[in-house]
Structure 1
Amino acid sequence: MTVPDGKPELLKAQYRAFSRQLPLMYLILISNTWIVAATHMAVAPTWLTTGVPAIMTLGCGVRAVHWLRVRSAEPTPEQARQALTRTNYLSSIIAVAFTAWSLMLFPYGDAYTKSHVVFYMAITVIACIFSLLHLRSAAITGTVIVNGAIVAFFASTGEPTFVATAINTGLVSSGMLAILLINYRDFTRMIDAQVEAARKAKEQHRLLRMIDDMPIAVMTLDPATFVINFANETAKRTLGTIEGLLPVKADQLVGTCVDVFHANPQHQRRILADPANLPHHARVAVGQEVVDLQVAPIHDDDGSYIGPMLSLSIVTQQVAAERRIRQLAHYDVLTGLPNRATFRDRLEASLARPESRGGLLLIDLDGFKMVNDLRGHLVGDELLRQVAGRLQAARSRAELIVGRLGGDEFAILVEDEEVGGAAALATELIAELGAPYTLGDDRHVQIGASIGIALIPGHGREAERLLSRADMALYAAKAVGKGTYRTFSPGMEIRVQERVRLEAELRTALVECRDLFVFYQPIVCLRSGRVTAREALARWHHPQHGWVPPSEFIHVAEESGLIDRLGTFVLDQACREAAGWADGARVAVNISATQLGKGTLIPAILTALAGSGLPADRLEIEVTESALLSEAFDCIADLRHAREIGVRVALDDFGTGYSSLAHLRAFAFDKIKIDGTFVRDAVERPDCAAIVGLVADLGRRLGVTTVAEGVETAAHLQLVTVEGCFEAQGYLFSTPKPSERDAPLVAALEDRLEILNAAGTQTAIV
Structure 2
Amino acid sequence: MLEKLYQCIIIDHDYRLVLLAAVICAFSCFTAINLQQHTAGSQKQYRNRWLILTGIAAGIGVWATHFVAMLAYDAGSPKSYDLLPTLASILIAIILMGAGFAIYTNRENKLSLHVAAWVMGLGIGAMHYTGMSGLHIWGAFSYDMTWAISALIIGIIGCTGTLLCLERLRGVKGQVWAAVCLTLAICGLHFTAMTALTVTPDPTVSQTEGTVSDGVLLVAVTLATFMVLASALATGIVDKHLADRRTVEARRLRNLANAAMEGIVLLDGKGAVVDANHSFLGLCGRHLEPLRGMPFTVCFQRLEFDPDRRSAWFVNDAILIGANEKEIPTEIFFRPVQDRIGAQMVAIVRDIRERRAAEQQINFLAHHDSITGVANRAVFQKQLEHAVSKGSSGRHAPKKHALYFVDIDDFKELNARLGHAAGDAALKEVAERLKKVVGDQGLVARLSADQFCILHDGVEHNDDADTFALALKTALVAPFPVADKPVSLTASIGIAMHPNDAQDPEVLLLRAEIAMKRAKLEGRGKYCFFEPVIDEKLEERRALKQDLLQALGRHELYLQYQPQYHAHSRKLSGFEVLLRWRHPEKGLISPGEFIPMAEETGVINEISIWMMNEACRAAKTWPASLGLAVNMSPIQFEQDGLVEIIGRIVRRHGLTPDRLELEITESILIADEHRALRILKKLKEAGMRLAMDDFGTGYSSLSYLQTFPFDKIKIDRSFVMQMDDDSHSVGIVRGVIGLAHGLGIPVLAEGVETEAQLALLQDMGCDEVQGFLLGRPERIEDYADQITALEQHAEQTA
* Shared fold (TM-score, shorter chain, > 0.5): yes
Look up the match of 2:126.
none
> What is the alpha-carbon root mean square deviation over aligned residues?
3.7
- 8 Å Cα contact 1:236/1:251 also seen in 2: no
Look up the match of 1:54.
none
Distance 2:520 2:761 in 1: 34
Look up the match of 1:340.
377
Matched, 1:435 2:478: yes
Counterpart selection for 1:509 from 547, 551, 561? 551
Question: 1:631 is aligned with what amino acid?
Answer: D
Report which stretch shifted further, 381-390 or 279-288.
279-288
Matched, 1:364 2:403: no
Counterpart selection for 2:637 from 596, 600, 618? 596
Question: 2:438 is aligned with what amino acid?
Answer: R
Counterpart selection for 2:566 from 525, 545, 561? 525
Superposed CA deviations along residues 585-609 of structure 1, whole A, max 9, x for unmatched, are 2111100011115334323322322
How far apart are 1:650 and its partner, in Å? 0.5
Distance 2:559 2:570 in 1: 24
Q: Which has the larger radius of gyration?
A: 1
Distance 1:742 1:569 in 2: 22
TM-score by length of 1: 0.58
Distance 2:405 2:693 in 1: 33
Matched, 1:445 2:501: no
How far apart are 1:232 and its partner, in Å? 5.6
How far apart are 1:434 and its partner, in Å? 2.8
Superposed CA deviations along residues 125-149 of structure 1, whole A, max 9, x for unmatched, are xxxxxxxxxxxxxxxxxxxxxxxxx
Look up the match of 1:555.
596
Q: Secondary structure at the match of 2:553?
A: helix
Q: 1:293 to 1:516 in 2, by over 3 A?
A: closer
Question: 1:591 is aligned with what amino acid?
Answer: M
Look up the match of 2:358.
321
Distance 1:234 1:548 in 2: 85
Distance 2:767 2:495 in 1: 50
Distance 1:457 1:289 in 2: 53
Q: 1:544 to 1:289 in 2, by over 3 A?
A: farther
Within-5 A mapping of 1:333-732: 333-354=370-391, 355-396=398-439, 399-417=441-459, 418-440=461-483, 442-512=484-554, 514-582=555-623, 584-631=625-672, 634-732=675-773
Distance 1:250 1:329 in 2: 46
Q: 1:626 to 1:290 in 2, by over 3 A?
A: farther
Report which stretch shifted further, 323-332 or 469-478.
469-478
How far apart are 1:633 and its partner, in Å? 6.3
- 8 Å Cα contact 2:367/2:375 also seen in 1: yes
Q: 1:741 to 1:234 in 2, by over 3 A?
A: farther
TM-score by length of 2: 0.55
Q: 1:580 to 1:360 in 2, by over 3 A?
A: same
How far apart are 1:690 and its partner, in Å? 1.6
Distance 1:695 1:280 in 2: 72
How far apart are 1:469 and its partner, in Å? 1.8
How far apart are 1:638 and its partner, in Å? 2.0
- 8 Å Cα contact 1:454/1:466 also seen in 2: yes
Within-5 A mapping of 1:299-310: none
Q: 1:549 to 1:314 in 2, by over 3 A?
A: same
Question: 1:339 is aligned with what amino acid?
Answer: N
Gapped runs of 5+ residues in structure 1?
A: 1-212, 219-228, 263-267, 269-278, 296-310, 744-766
- 8 Å Cα contact 1:217/1:238 also seen in 2: no
Superposed CA deviations along residues 310-360 of structure 1, whole A, max 9, x for unmatched, are x99754223211111101211112111111112222222222212432211
How far apart are 1:402 and its partner, in Å? 0.8
How far apart are 1:508 and its partner, in Å? 1.4
Q: Secondary structure at the match of 2:705?
A: helix
How far apart are 1:713 and its partner, in Å? 2.2
- 8 Å Cα contact 1:452/1:485 also seen in 2: yes
Question: 1:387 is aligned with what amino acid?
Answer: V
Distance 1:388 1:345 in 2: 20
- 8 Å Cα contact 1:217/1:312 also seen in 2: no
Q: Secondary structure at the match of 1:326?
A: helix
Superposed CA deviations along residues 217-265 of structure 1, whole A, max 9, x for unmatched, are 99xxxxxxxxxx9876799999965667x9xx9959989999x999xxx
Report which stretch shifted further, 540-549 or 702-711.
702-711
Distance 2:674 2:715 in 1: 26
Distance 2:349 2:670 in 1: 57
Count how many residue pairs are aligned between Structure 1 and Structure 2: 488
Q: 1:240 to 1:621 in 2, by over 3 A?
A: same
Distance 2:680 2:296 in 1: 79
Question: 2:617 is aligned with what amino acid?
Answer: R
Distance 1:409 1:426 in 2: 15
Distance 2:325 2:509 in 1: 42
Report which stretch shifted further, 527-536 or 709-718.
709-718
Question: 2:411 is aligned with what amino acid?
Answer: F
Question: 1:698 is aligned with what amino acid?
Answer: L
Superposed CA deviations along residues 158-178 of structure 1, whole A, max 9, x for unmatched, are xxxxxxxxxxxxxxxxxxxxx
Distance 2:382 2:282 in 1: 41
Superposed CA deviations along residues 502-545 of structure 1, whole A, max 9, x for unmatched, are 22222212234x01110011122211111212110000101111
- 8 Å Cα contact 2:284/2:320 also seen in 1: no
How far apart are 1:564 and its partner, in Å? 0.7
Distance 2:327 2:536 in 1: 57
Give the percent of matched residue pairs that are identical in Structure 1 and Structure 2: 36
Distance 2:705 2:631 in 1: 18
Distance 1:504 1:217 in 2: 72
Q: Secondary structure at the match of 2:671?
A: coil
Q: 1:715 to 1:535 in 2, by over 3 A?
A: same
Q: 1:665 to 1:316 in 2, by over 3 A?
A: same
